Amino acid sequence: MITKIAKCIVKPEALTEFNEITDNMIEETRKETGNVRYGLYRDAKNKNIFYFLEDWKDKEAFESHLKEEHLKKSITKLKKTLATEMELISLEVEK
């Protein structure tokens, strides 16, 4: 299993749009083969920082996710709501 964490810093004026985009993104991604968990979490201290926590069965499942048309469209829209580029961290289960 692999885990991905994506940090998003959202422009304050774009919070509503960000939430609308991510609602659909989450719903569609959770239907994908190989998805174990896909959730969006808000930073407890800064309401403009969000984290996607994603667990995928394997690298192939994640790579397939990146090719999904719904994701490509959502990411294009999402980028317009972000104050900075999204940061992505990749983790693999050690034990």
pLDDT tens, N- to C-terminus, the chain (95 residues): 999 999 999 999 999 999 999 999 999 999 999 999 999 999 999 999 999 999 999 999 999 999 999 999 999 999 999 999 999 999 987 76
CA 38/CA 25 separation, integer angstroms: 10
Query: For position 92, what pLDDT does the model report?
Result: 85
CATH of the domain at 6: 3.30.70.100
Q: Are 70 and 28 in contact (CB under 8 A)?
A: yes
How many domains does one find in the chain? 1
pTM of the model: 0.91
